[in-house]
Amino acid sequence: MTFPERAAEIDLDALRHNIRHLRDVAHPARVMAVVKADAYGHGAVPVARAAVEAGAAWLGVAHVSEGVALRKAGIEAPILAWLHTSGTDFTAGVEHGLDLGISGWELEHVVASARELERPAIVHLKIDTGLGRNGCPPDRWDALLARAVEYQEAGLIRVVGIFSHLAVADEPARPETDLQVQAFREAVAAAESAGIDVEVRHLANTPATFSRPDCHFDLVRVGLGIYGLSPFSDQGSADLGLQPVMTFSTVVSNCKEVPAGQGVSYGYAYRTHKPTTLGLIPVGYGDGVPRIATGAPVLVGNRIHPVVGRIAMDQLVIDFGTTGLVDTPDSPLGKRAVLFGAADSPAVEDWAAAAQTINYEIVTRISDRVERVYLEAPREESADGYA
Ligand SMILES: *Cc1c(COP(=O)(O)O)cnc(C)c1O
């Protein structure tokens, strides 16, 4: 059997399962599938299509350019983009019917685009309830609302949403989320008194969707969860009813027996302590594998072996811990090597721990050098032969 040289298999059926599960968890609130950063490395267009098919009501991206790319791929679902700079092409955003997150200064730019296109911009006003990044500071909220109402009355914008982002929802016991919820409620109330008819109030990310039903409001913005990963340190994917979507694999590209004392990879950070067999795994930091993840697990056959020595740009080494494999039917040469993924594979979280980071970063950084291979069960075709 041959395997792709390097592949990130993206199980779109698992993604659909996760979306449906999250819809149940969030019900009656609806789900925005967050597909920024190329859908956390999973591929924005196929993921966005599958998410909408499975019932995501909205798509979320950071950049207007990411939203425009989805529109150009034919995706018609509502798309919210929330992170802008003075170089953002707001006109393209309005022209493609994107919803635009507004924290303050962007409003004038969006209104200028709306005037130019003679088409109202759809906006969601963002309040900073404590994260300290984007969002309007509470003391400037009333002024922003007043301007928004004025532009809405002039037919230049339509305010459909009020939103904010949480800081510590992945640690459900922390009290600061309560303060953010309270501040959010006040901001929504102020918007309503200012005469804005708020269609969607949204605050929750993945952790709050699972742990804080009081944060669901009308819409939850879920990124990590749709990819089947857990945001909590004490719960895995299965505990949350999720299925990991990405499986990252390659092929053992060399296999050799070495004596005790063999130095492995740059710097000789590892030396074998007994005669053993080393396997060469042809992925490295050029493929998005973190260089510091020595010790992380790689599955070959049905056994897990640790990465030894330094991870290089193109390759890393695993130690099989035994001899007598080379040139036998048990030789690992040419066998599939799975770094992380679905079912019995090592977990993304094991790689995150080895790399002192979070699962979000591991999947998002898998580079373009790694082919994305989309998996889904065959669909029934309709009678005329078209699906
Ligand atoms: C990335 C992002 C999300 C999704 O966060 P997850 O923890 O991945 O669910 C939601 N809202 C905003 C504003 C974001 O930037």
353: domain CATH number? 2.40.37.10
Q: Which domain holds residue 80?
A: 12-231
What is the C-alpha separation between 180 and 269, in angstroms, rounded?
A: 46
Same domain, 290 and 348: yes
- Would you say residue 382 lies in a domain? no
207 Cα nearest atom in ligand 1: 7
Q: What is the pLDDT along the chain (387 residues), one digit of tens a residue?
A: 667 899 999 999 999 999 999 999 999 999 999 999 999 999 999 999 999 999 999 999 999 999 999 999 999 999 999 999 999 999 999 999 999 999 999 999 999 999 999 999 999 999 999 999 999 999 999 999 999 999 999 999 999 999 999 999 999 999 999 999 999 999 999 999 999 999 999 999 999 999 999 999 999 999 999 999 999 999 999 999 999 999 999 999 999 999 999 999 999 999 999 999 999 999 999 999 999 999 999 999 999 999 999 999 999 999 999 999 999 999 999 999 999 999 789 999 999 999 999 999 999 999 999 999 999 888 665 444 444
**Quick check: CB of 82 below 6 Å from ligand 1?**
yes
Structure tokens at 238: 């299965």
**Quick check: CB of 224 below 6 Å from ligand 1?**
yes
Predicted local confidence at residue 382, as pLDDT: 47
Predicted local confidence at residue 3, as pLDDT: 74
Same domain, 127 and 272: no
CA dist 41 to 67, 169, 245, 287, Å? 16, 23, 11, 12
Same domain, 216 and 334: no
Same domain, 211 and 312: no
- Would you say residue 126 lies in a domain? yes
Task: Determine contact, residues 318/289, Cβ cutoff 8 Å.
Answer: no
151: domain CATH number? 3.20.20.10
**Quick check: CB of 212 below 6 Å from ligand 1?**
no
The closest residue, in CA terms, to atom 12 on ligand 1 is: 165
**Quick check: CB of 151 below 6 Å from ligand 1?**
no
- Would you say residue 1 lies in a domain? no
Q: Which of 128, 148, 125 is nearest to 138 (CA)?
A: 128
What is the C-alpha separation between 137 and 129, in angstroms, rounded?
A: 8
Q: What angle do CA 120, 186, 33 make, to 5 degrees?
A: 55
Same domain, 222 and 252: no
For ligand 1, the distance from its centroid to the CA atom of residue 32, given in whole angstroms, is: 10
- Would you say residue 364 lies in a domain? yes
| 133 annotated as belonging to a binding site for a ligand | yes
Q: pTM of the predicted model, to two decimals? A: 0.96
Query: 184, 200, 231 — which closes off a domain?
Result: 231
Give 87: exposed, middle or buried? Use CB within 10 Å, 0-12, 13-18, 19+: exposed
- Would you say residue 87 lies in a domain? yes
Please state the separation of Cα 31 from the chain's center in Å: 15
Same domain, 252 and 216: no
Same domain, 255 and 367: yes
What is the C-alpha separation between 134 and 320, in angstroms, rounded?
A: 48
Instruction: Specify the number of domains making up the chain.
Output: 2
Same domain, 59 and 134: yes
Query: 231, 266, 285 — which closes off a domain?
Result: 231
Q: Which of 143, 93, 6 is nearest to 79 (CA)?
A: 93
- Would you say residue 61 lies in a domain? yes
Same domain, 138 and 286: no
What is the C-alpha separation between 256 and 191, in angstroms, rounded?
A: 68
Same domain, 187 and 291: no
Q: Which amino acid is at 67?
A: G
**Quick check: CB of 34 below 6 Å from ligand 1?**
yes
- Would you say residue 241 lies in a domain? no
Task: Determine contact, residues 148/159, Cβ cutoff 8 Å.
Answer: yes
Same domain, 368 and 299: yes
CA dist 382 to 55, 321, 379, 386, Å? 21, 53, 9, 6
Predicted local confidence at residue 4, as pLDDT: 84
Pocket probe mutation, ligand 1, options 32, 34, 66, 165, max atoms within 8 Å of Cβ: 34
Task: Determine contact, residues 157/114, Cβ cutoff 8 Å.
Answer: yes
- Would you say residue 57 lies in a domain? yes
Same domain, 251 and 351: yes
Q: Which amino acid is at 117?
A: L
Task: State yes or no: is 270 an active-site residue.
Answer: no
34 Cα nearest atom in ligand 1: 4
Task: State yes or no: is 36 an active-site residue.
Answer: yes
Query: 171, 197, 231 — which closes off a domain?
Result: 231
Task: Determine contact, residues 252/337, Cβ cutoff 8 Å.
Answer: yes
